[in-house]
A and B are shown apart, each in its own frame.
Chain A
Amino acid sequence: LAKTTQPISMDSYEGQEVNITCSHNNIATNDYITWYQQFPSQGPRFIIQGYKTKVTNEVASLFIPADRKSSTLSLPRVSLSDTAVYYCLETGGATNKLIFGTGTLLAVQP
Chain B
Amino acid sequence: DTEVTQTPKHLVMGMTNKKSLKCEQHMGHRAMYWYKQKAKKPPELMFVYSYEKLSINESVPSRFSPECPNSSLLNLHLHALQPEDSALYLCASSQDRGRYEQYFGPGTRLTVT
Contacts and interface: CB of A to CB of B under 8 A. Distances in A.
Chain B interface, >50% SS class = strand
A95 B44 contact: no
Task: State which size class the interface on B falls in.
Answer: 20 to 34
Given A41-B88, A87-B42, A94 B101 contact: no
B31 A45 contact: no
Nearest to A48: B101
Chain A interface, >50% SS class = loop
Interface of A: 2, 31-32, 34, 41-46, 49, 87, 91-103
Contacts of A87: 42
B53 interface: no
The 7 closest A-B pairs by CB, nearest first: A43-B104, A100-B42, A92-B99, A96-B97, A46-B101, A32-B99, A91-B99
Given A43-B106, A45-B104, A96-B99, A101 B42 contact: yes
Contact of B104 (A34, A44, A102): A44
Given A34-B99, A43-B92, A97 B104 contact: no
A46 B105 CA distance: 12
